[in-house]
């Protein structure tokens, strides 16, 4: 029933005015105005749909090698071989050619000492060698003369023996002076510090103008080549760690990336202070995005599983069945964990309509930067990694990758990143402050 029908009934029910009062002249005009307003209200356009909010999201991937007997530890990337670069002689440091973080090559000059003293020592050694050679020449000539005279019995035998002794001493003196010259020349070369291997400078321990002693650290060098990750294991876990054991490594700075590794070395003795055992793993394919000093987590497969996989006669079907019975776990950033009441939850992006779903999850372990989810997620599902307090259930979103995830350009138009923080906030303007906007979404 529209406005016109209501007005018509109201007019029809009213008693007719007396002929003397007459019909008001403004009634037809009022009816026309009301009919126009009613028709305009019936044809009002619906408000435009809100734009999709931009959220940072990535698909989750299960942690390889997880299970009841898996061992998990924080790790740090380190070069397999490192050494301290130092001068072999004392002197005043007058030049440094590389700085912290620079890449050096084998044979490259990295620092120099003042060579003045070494140059004078080398010149003195050269002069001593020249004098020794002259004495040797004279002693040889004298020996030849005495031998000729002794053959004619013109000199005594003792004089010939003395001449032979002088020649032998001159010969030894020449050899000694020659060796001293080599040492002096080496010391002159030692005023130049040269890189023995390709690698990167990891520390600077001396400044220009400083007088350094022989063997004092000037630079730290991490060799290029194979990359290791190190962890400190508790003594209670040593029985579950063995050389050659497979592991899966993830880094907080590289979300969505997983790297295979194997245990290379287990320290035979505990650290005297921490009472932990240093374990070194070798990354199988580190990639250029893995840098020295990066931190992450390593999950070591159980020793029994690794032994069964490597045993002769173990089929791929058996390994697949064993893997299928092991519950999958997922490592997600700590910023992805929200709550549903008192239980942890994550925002999952529905693939059908790109809307958000608040899903409860089971978290078995919390760390400073990540959380281990053991239930509630499936392989490949996209979850929101940041800004979980600014979105709400059912919100239409547009997932984008993190800026520095190593996968190239960020999905989305130019300028999307700058509005990523504002878009969820605008979309959640009518949401409750705790992040669960719709009633019952977070109950």
DSSP line for 233-269: E-GGGGGG--TT-EEEEEETTEEEEEEEEEEEEE-SS
Q: What is the pLDDT of residue 62?
A: 78
| DSSP SS3 for 112 | strand
- Per-residue pLDDT at 433 exceeds 80: no
pLDDT band at 124 (very low <50, low <70, confident <90, very high): very high
Q: What is the pLDDT of residue 135?
A: 94
Task: Decide: 53 and 396 in contact? Cβ < 8 Å.
Answer: yes
Question: What backbone phi and psi angles, to 5 degrees, belong to 236?
Answer: -70, -20
- Per-residue pLDDT at 358 exceeds 50: yes
Q: What is the pLDDT of residue 13?
A: 55
Q: Which residue has tokens 């009816």?
A: 31
CA nearest to 423, candidates 375, 379, 387, 382: 387
- Per-residue pLDDT at 415 exceeds 50: no
- Per-residue pLDDT at 410 exceeds 50: no
CA distance 135 to 132: 5
| DSSP letter for each residue of 371-439 | EEEEES--TT-EEE-S-GGG--TT-BEEEE--TTSSSSSPSS-TTTGGGTTHHHHHHTTTS-TTS--ST
Beta-strand relationship, 397-400 and 53-59: parallel
Task: Provide the Cα torsion 406, 411, 414, 415; round to 10°.
Answer: -90
Q: For a pLDDT cut of 90, what percent of the chain falls above it?
A: 49
Q: For a pLDDT cut of 70, what percent of the chain falls above it?
A: 72
CA distance 422 to 372: 29
User: Of 46-50, 77-81, 87-91, 216-220, which range is least confident?
Assistant: 46-50
Average pLDDT over residues 344-359: 93
* Count of positions (residues) in the chain: 443
Compare 80 and 6 and report the one with higher pLDDT: 80
Long-range Cβ contacts of 353-361 (<8 Å, 24+ apart):
353/396, 354/52, 354/396, 354/397, 354/398, 354/399, 355/394, 355/395, 355/396, 355/397, 356/55, 356/384, 356/391, 356/392, 356/393, 356/394, 356/395, 356/397, 357/393, 358/393, 358/436, 358/441, 358/442, 361/337
Average pLDDT over residues 198-214: 93
Q: What is the pLDDT of residue 401?
A: 87
pLDDT band at 411 (very low <50, low <70, confident <90, very high): very low
Q: What is the pLDDT of residue 32?
A: 57
- Per-residue pLDDT at 249 exceeds 70: yes
pLDDT band at 443 (very low <50, low <70, confident <90, very high): very low
Burial 255-283 (b: 16+ CB within 10 A, else e): bebbbebebbeeeeebeeeeebbbbbbbb
Q: What is the pLDDT of residue 424?
A: 39
| DSSP SS3 for 147 | helix
Compare 294 and 15 and report the one with higher pLDDT: 294
CA distance 387 to 381: 18
Q: What is the pLDDT of residue 71?
A: 79
Average pLDDT over residues 260-269: 93
Compare 32 and 84 and report the one with higher pLDDT: 84
Residue 213 token pair: 């002693």
pLDDT band at 388 (very low <50, low <70, confident <90, very high): very high
Q: What is the pLDDT of residue 366?
A: 83
Q: At what angle do helices 116-151 and 157-189 cross, to 10 degrees?
A: 160
User: Whole-prediction pTM value?
Assistant: 0.52
Over residues 59-96, the pLDDT tens digits come to 998 775 555 456 788 999 988 899 999 999 999 999 99
Average pLDDT over residues 9-14: 53
Over residues 227-243, the pLDDT tens digits come to 889 999 988 888 889 99
pLDDT band at 23 (very low <50, low <70, confident <90, very high): very low
In 10 A of CB 391, how many CB atoms? 25
pLDDT band at 24 (very low <50, low <70, confident <90, very high): low
- Per-residue pLDDT at 319 exceeds 70: no
User: Of 26-35, 96-105, 207-216, 244-253, which range is least confident?
Assistant: 26-35
- Per-residue pLDDT at 33 exceeds 50: yes
Over residues 137-152, the pLDDT tens digits come to 999 999 999 999 988 8
- Per-residue pLDDT at 5 exceeds 90: no
- Per-residue pLDDT at 172 exceeds 50: yes
Compare 420 and 132 and report the one with higher pLDDT: 132
What is the average pLDDT value for the chain, to the nearest integer?
79
pLDDT band at 217 (very low <50, low <70, confident <90, very high): very high
């Amino acid at each position: 029933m529209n406005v016109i029908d209501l007005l018509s009934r109201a007019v029809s029910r009213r008693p007719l005015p007396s002929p003397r009062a007459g019909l008001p002249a403004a009634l037809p005009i009022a009816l026309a105005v009301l009919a126009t307003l009613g028709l305009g209200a019936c044809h009002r356009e619906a408000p435009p749909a809100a734009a999709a909010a931009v959220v940072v999201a990535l698909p989750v991937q299960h942690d390889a090698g997880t299970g009841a007997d898996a061992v998990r530890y924080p790790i740090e990337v380190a070069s397999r071989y490192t050494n301290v670069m130092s001068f072999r002689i004392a002197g005043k440091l007058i030049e440094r050619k590389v700085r912290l973080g620079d890449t050096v090559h084998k044979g490259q000059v990295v620092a120099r000492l003042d060579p003045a003293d070494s140059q004078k020592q080398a010149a003195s050694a050269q002069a001593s060698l020249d004098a020794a050679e002259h004495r040797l020449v004279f002693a040889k000539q004298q020996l030849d003369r005495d031998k000729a005279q002794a053959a004619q019995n013109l000199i005594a035998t003792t004089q010939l023996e003395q001449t032979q002794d002088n020649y032998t001493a001159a010969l030894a003196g020449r050899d000694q002076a020659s060796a001293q010259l080599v040492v002096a020349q080496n010391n002159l070369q030692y005023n130049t510090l040269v890189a023995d291997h390709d690698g990167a400078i990891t520390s600077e321990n001396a400044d220009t103008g400083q007088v350094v002693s022989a063997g004092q650290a000037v630079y730290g060098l991490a060799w290029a080549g194979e990359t290791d990750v190190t962890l400190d294991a508790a003594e209670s876990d040593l029985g579950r760690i063995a050389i050659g054991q497979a592991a899966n490594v993830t880094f907080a700075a590289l979300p969505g990336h997983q790297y295979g590794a194997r245990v290379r070395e287990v320290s035979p003795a505990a650290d005297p202070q921490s009472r932990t055992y240093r374990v070194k793993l070798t990354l199988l394919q580190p990639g250029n995005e893995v840098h020295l000093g990066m931190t992450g987590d390593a999950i070591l497969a159980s020793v029994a599983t690794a032994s069964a996989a490597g045993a002769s006669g173990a089929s791929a079907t058996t390994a697949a069945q064993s893997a299928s019975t092991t519950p999958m776990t997922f490592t997600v950033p700590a910023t992805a964990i929200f709550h549903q009441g008192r239980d942890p939850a994550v925002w999952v992006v529905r693939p059908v309509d790109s809307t958000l779903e608040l899903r409860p999850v089971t978290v078995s372990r919390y760390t400073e930067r990540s959380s281990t989810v053991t239930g509630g997620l499936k392989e490949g599902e996209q979850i929101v990694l940041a800004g979980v307090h600014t979105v709400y259930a059912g919100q239409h979103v547009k997932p984008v990758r993190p800026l520095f995830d190593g996968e190239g350009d960020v999905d989305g138009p130019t300028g999307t990143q700058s509005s990523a923080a504002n878009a969820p906030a605008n979309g959640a303007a009518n949401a409750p402050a705790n992040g669960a906007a719709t009633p019952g979404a977070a109950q």
